[in-house]
Structure 1
Amino acid sequence: MPTAYVHTAFGGPETESFLDLPRPVPGPGRLLVAVRAAGVNPVDFKRRQGYRRAGGPPTELPAVFGSEAAGVVEEVGPGVEGFAVGDEVFGHADRGGFAELALLPAEGTAHKPAALSWTDAATLPVAAGTAYDALVQLALPPGATLLVNGAGGGVGAATVQIARHRGLKVVGTAGSGKREFVESLGAVHVPSGEGVALRIRAAAPDGVDGVVDLVGGEPLREVAALLADRSRLVSGADKDGAIELGGAAIVRERTGAVLDAVAALVVAGALDPYVTQVFPLADAGKALRAIEDGHVRGKIALTVG
């Protein structure tokens, strides 16, 4: 029976444990994958706390942690085309990637390029995929100025890099301790915190043409005031706040085509996933604590098998 890291109730870390679960069976449109690596994201501990994506199905307990994974196809479900047993793939995990075996929807899975490492591949669907979707949604022309509110995390770092590759000028807010990191990505760093709008105006005297918000709350309201056209605001942290301000939530595509695009950027050297910490599956709890403590720079991955 495959081992998985799960939470058996909603709450804190005390609900987490390893379990041996029945071997998953790939239904229509699904792939059964022997996991080689899995990405670790804030949404993992938030789901343990009871968060559920709007419109998503109720969480069945025990619930396996993990939203993204990379591995080798073991079985192909009915109706799946373009994938075969033995293929190296990465994508969105249906019911958790912190496991020896995981189910991936074929439409949200892509073939892993040989030049892409397992850990890099496993961390692309959530962070780089969100960044890519946000920039496609904004559709800013080359030369425009983009503000990334929260540029120091996994999604923020990917957004800055992809935006720079698309020919945008980028201003990124982050804590003072992440200045060197944000600047290394190609953005003008602006310290976050009270009065951030004034500092952004000083850094971008000609104004900003679009905002990707990854913070939400009052910081979102402050930076939204910098936009003449609020439709150029998208948020991955505060859907209701963005809509109230005249913007929108980031619309996630979660398709293989998006994964192909971001993987190609990594292979070409235009995007670094910045996997800064790697833990074995046996230390999944430690990986989650690192994310939950909120001081991670870049991405964390688990290795499996």
Structure 2
Amino acid sequence: MAKAYVYTRHGGPEVEALIDREPPRPGPGQLLVAVRAAGVNPVDHKLRGGYRRPGQAAAELPEVLGSEAAGVVEEVGPDVTGFAVGDAVFGSTLTGGYAEYTLLPVAIAAHKPDGLSFAEAAALPVAAATAYDGVRQLALAAGATLLVTGVGGGVGGYAARLARHEGLRVIGTASEGKKEYVESLGAVHVAPGPELVERIRALAPDGVDGVFDLVGGDHLRAVAELVADRTKLITAGGKQIVAELGGSPVARARSAEVLDAVAALAAADVLRPHLTATYPLERAGEALRAVESGHARGKVVIEVGR
């Protein structure tokens, strides 16, 4: 038996539990991984609450929480090439990351570089890959100005650093308490609130060349007027609204190639994860509360094994 942190029905924190269960068995194209670390993301509590991604099957309860993990290959499923027992890997999970064992599909898994810890690698598949996909989608030229809303969160931090690495000027919206962190990313900080658009225009009188939105709602509606070319308006936080505004959602690649790319950038210190807190599996609920509060800076990770 192995430990896993699950939700037993849809709802709030009260439906979470640490249980014992049989480790999953890998099928074709899958890796059984002994988890060393798991990333914590807002989508985790959204799934617990009943949200499902487009095309995602209904939850089989109890369902293990967590969308990304890093660890060591314990068993290789049929038709798998390029991976072997003992390999250090990371990727998006099929059976949840808050567990001692999980399954990774090889299509969204990659080898962990020696220069990254398991905790750092576990922080890449969701937030860093989303940021990478979004910045690539915008395809702004060096010297252009990019507005990142919600820049103080996990995806926003990665997006700002990647954009700065590519020679973009970055303006980022985040709470006043995150100003120092935002500036450490190389971005110009703007606090949300009254006259937001006017304050951004004071920094960019002709508007911005692209918007990478991570907030949605009225925040997205307000800043949309700042970008003339709406093909350069993308969101990971307000997909229905962005369509009305002429923009589009972040087009996620969800591929091993993207994971290899973000891992190389992380190992080179361009996208090295900013880990703000780590928790043991027994305190996974606390880790999820830290992210669910909306106040976490950088990345929260659960360390499962050594």
Same fold (TM over 0.5): yes
Match of 1:64 in 2: 64
Residue 31 of structure 2 corresponds to 31
The answer on whether the counterparts of 1:171 and 1:204 sit within 8 Å (CA) in structure 2 is: no
* Structure 1 segments (4+ residues) deviating >6 Å: none
Residue correspondence of structure 1 range 218-237 to structure 2 within 5 A = 218-237=218-237
Shift of residue 114, structure 1, vs aligned partner:
0.7
Q: Distance in 2 between matches of 1:223 and 1:272?
A: 29
Match of 2:161 in 1: 161
Matched, 1:8 2:8: yes
Residue in structure 2 matched with residue 300 of structure 1 by the alignment:
300
Q: Matches of 2:261 and 2:283 in 1, distance apart?
A: 31
Alpha-carbon distance in 1 for matches of 2:228, 2:184: 29
- Show the counterpart of 1:145: 145
SS at match of 2:241: helix
2:23–2:102 contact (8 Å) kept in structure 1: no
Unaligned runs of 5+ in 1: none
Q: 2:123: which partner in 1?
A: 123
Alpha-carbon displacement from aligned partner over 1:2-50 (angstroms, at most 9, x marks no partner): 1100000000111000111122111111110000000001111111111
SS state at 2:39 partner: strand
Tell me which residue corresponds to 2:211: 211
Report the 3-state secondary structure (helix = DSSP H, G, I; strand = E; otherwise coil) of the residue aligned with 2:55: coil
Q: Secondary structure at the match of 1:27?
A: coil
Between the two proteins, the alignment pairs up a number of residues equal to 305
Q: SS of 2:33's equivalent?
A: strand
1:132 alignment partner in structure 2: 132
Q: Deviations 1:213-249 (Å, cap 9, x if unpaired)?
A: 0000000000001111111111000111111110001
Contact 1:190 1:203 in 2 (8 A): no
Cα RMSD over matched residues? 0.9
Q: Alpha-carbon deviation of 1:289?
A: 1.0
What does residue range 269-284 of structure 1 map to in structure 2 within 5 Å? Answer: 269-284=269-284
The C-alpha deviation readout for 1:87-135, integer Å capped at 9, x for no partner, is: 0000001120000000001010010011101111001011100000001
TM alignment of 1:182-221, pairs within 5 A: 182-221=182-221
Could you list the runs of 5+ residues in structure 2 that have no partner in the other structure? none
* Post-superposition CA distance 1:26-76 (Å, at most 9, x none): 111111000000000111111111111122111111010000000000111
* In 2: Cα distance, 1:125 partner to 1:286 partner: 21
Counterpart Cα distance in 2 of 1:95 and 1:245: 36
More moved, 17-26 vs 214-223: 17-26
CA distance in 2, matches of 1:289, 1:139: 35
Secondary structure class of the residue paired with 2:158: helix
- Residues 235-274 of structure 1: CA deviation (Å, up to 9, x unaligned): 0001111111100011111111111111111111212311
Kept in 2, the 8 Å contact 1:94–1:104? The answer is yes
Farther-moved stretch of structure 1 (32-41 vs 16-25): 16-25
| Distance in structure 1 (CA, Å) of the matches to 2:250 and 2:117 | 27
Cα distance in structure 2, aligned partners of 1:193 and 1:150? 13
